[in-house]
Amino acid sequence: MLTFLRILAAIFLLIAAIAGVYDGTRSLAADRLVMASLLELWTNVAPSLLATAQGAVRRSLDPRVWDQGVATLLQLPAWSVFAGLGLMLAYAGRRRRRVNVFAN
């Protein structure tokens, strides 16, 4: 289980690095700071999956959940979302230090 979390953390951190490079190259081309939101990247990569996810959330939950909750989270920069998830998974999957409670 811990190995799985570390592998997933590495994948999320790799995606964060790719999104950061994408933002960096766009910023250099535009001569200003440009950060792609998670919604923008998701729209570019898989628009049908985005529409399916939006429809599923609106059907199964209240439509305001998508409009006020999920859509707000999707406006965050993609690199920060994936970096945050990757760091949390890396922390959860870290190797624990064994403590000998019976040592004198």
Sketch the domain layout of the chain as residue ranges: 1-34+78-94, 37-76
Rounded Cα gap, residues 88 and 90, in angstroms: 5
**Residue 99 φ/ψ region, left for φ over 0, alpha for ψ in the -120 to 50 degree band, beta for the rest:** beta
31 contacts: CB under 8 Å, gap ≥ 6: none
What percent of the chain stands above pLDDT 90? 74
Q: Provide the pLDDT for residue 104.
A: 64
pTM of this prediction?
0.83
What percent of the chain stands above pLDDT 70? 98
Q: 37: which strand partners?
A: 77
Mean pLDDT score, 83-93: 95
Rounded Cα gap, residues 6 and 35, in angstroms: 27
Q: Provide the pLDDT for residue 1.
A: 81
Q: Provide the pLDDT for residue 91.
A: 94
